[in-house]
Amino acid sequence: MERNSDATRRDAAIALSTLADDRSRLAARIRVPWVLLAALGGLAALGVVSPAIANPGDDYQPPLVVGMAVLIGVIIVGYLIQRGTGIRFRTMGVAANAALCGVVATCLLLFMLSLALVSLELRWTLVLTGAAAFVVTTGLARVAYRSAAKRLRRG
Amino acid sequence: MAEVRFDETIHAPVRLRICGLLRQVDRMDFALLRDTLEVSDATLSKHLKIIITAGFASSAKEASAERKDARRLTWISLTPAGRRAFDAHLRALQQIAAPDGVPQVAARAPQLRFEHLHP
């Protein structure tokens, strides 16, 4: 009886260990194509440089069309990432959410900076804010997915 | 108190592994599930059918402009009942595996064997 109990305990432990191995294997398979991460960066850059077509001042009109295009683009790229990885996460974890919040905060700051630069007639400098938005968004989106994969490995 | 229940449907090694992976995500592509588990299409389909019939998982084929045949993406996800059943089963396994495991749980699962977990 004791021997049966030990075997049962050992088999349960093996089953739990196999579940952990499967999670590790799945996490190792998650590869978000660089082109899609870069597409997210490109969309962020587009949003940040959108003040270039605006006219700051009393008759300022926010570039809503560009904003809508960016929003739709993000939804499409998000969907393509799901298809590319074969996974839709229920939650991506605190670190991934922090990275995504970082993307939003940085892009908002860069957008305001772009507005200020346009008001100073320095439209050419939007190349720099756009490039910064591209780099930060691409990098942090990668960090977010890596963090989600790490979280998945832990279970 | 969290439910602890040994589930005969989930108990089978491949089905336990399927539920273990699906539990971590909202939904997963059939092909990714198959490749991660390193099983054949037929094996995965057979076990998925049992899990879906039990009401523990659901599948949805996705329309695709470039794929109109069986190669369309098939998304698999655990249902709320499946998540509850898997969690309860996992707790039962953890109790059995613990050094001071609950003997009653082990007694309710006398045929707990997992020789096929490592093909």
Task: Please tell me the predicted confidence (pLDDT) of residue A11.
Answer: 87
Task: Please tell me the predicted confidence (pLDDT) of residue B25.
Answer: 93
User: Nearest CA to CA, how far is B37 from chain A (Å)?
Assistant: 7
Task: Say if residue A26 is in the same domain as residue A66.
Answer: no
The more confidently predicted of residues A81 and B119 is A81
Task: Say if residue A6 is in the same domain as residue A57.
Answer: no
Task: Say if residue A68 is in the same domain as residue A112.
Answer: yes
C-alpha span between A133 and B37 (Å, rounded): 39
What residues of chain B lie within 8 A of the CB of A23, using their CB?
A: 20-21, 24
DSSP string, chain A: -HHHHHHHHHHHHHHHHHHHHHHHHHHHH----HHHHHHHHHHHHHHHHGGGGS--STT----HHHHHHHHHHHHHHHHHHHHHHTEE-S---HHHHHHHHHHHHHHHHHHHHHHHHHHTT-GGGHHHHHHHHHHHHHHHHHHHHHHHHHHHHH-
Residue of A8, A15, A86 with shortest CB distance to B32: A86
Among A42, A154, A8, A59, CA closest to B106? A8
Are the C-beta atoms of residues A144 and A100 closer than 8 Å to each other? Answer: yes
Question: Across the strands, what pairs with B57?
Answer: B78
Q: Which of A146-155, B2-11, B28-37 has the highest mean pLDDT?
A: B28-37
One pLDDT digit (tens) per residue for chain A, 155 residues? 456 677 788 888 999 999 999 999 999 998 888 999 999 999 999 999 988 887 766 677 777 888 899 999 999 999 999 998 999 988 888 999 999 999 999 999 999 999 899 888 888 999 999 999 999 999 999 999 999 999 988 87
CB contact under 8 A, B13 and A15: yes
CB contact under 8 A, B97 and A16: yes
Task: Please tell me the predicted confidence (pLDDT) of residue B23.
Answer: 94
User: Which one of A10, A22, A76 makes the best mutation probe of the B interface by having the most chain B beta carbons within 10 Å?
Assistant: A22
ipTM: 0.80
Task: Please tell me the predicted confidence (pLDDT) of residue B2.
Answer: 77
What residues of chain B lie within 8 A of the CB of A11, using their CB?
A: 112-114
Task: Please tell me the predicted confidence (pLDDT) of residue A1.
Answer: 47
Interval B57-67 mean pLDDT: 77
CATH code for the part of the protein at B8-64+73-110: 1.10.10.10
Task: Say if residue A121 is in the same domain as residue A55.
Answer: yes
User: Nearest CA to CA, how far is B53 from chain A (Å)?
Assistant: 23
Task: Say if residue A7 is in the same domain as residue A75.
Answer: no
Task: Say if residue A65 is in the same domain as residue A100.
Answer: yes
Task: Say if residue A87 is in the same domain as residue A11.
Answer: no
Task: Say if residue A25 is in the same domain as residue A35.
Answer: no
Question: Reduced to 3 states, what is the DSSP secondary structure of residue B77?
Answer: strand
The domain in which residue A98 lies consists of 31-154
Task: Say if residue A74 is in the same domain as residue A6.
Answer: no
Q: How many domains does chain A have?
A: 2
Task: Say if residue A97 is in the same domain as residue A150.
Answer: yes
Residue of B13, B28, B94 with shortest CB distance to A87: B28
Task: Say if residue A26 is in the same domain as residue A37.
Answer: no
Task: Say if residue A116 is in the same domain as residue A45.
Answer: yes
Task: Please tell me the predicted confidence (pLDDT) of residue B66.
Answer: 57
CB contact under 8 A, A87 and B37: no
CB contact under 8 A, B114 and A9: no
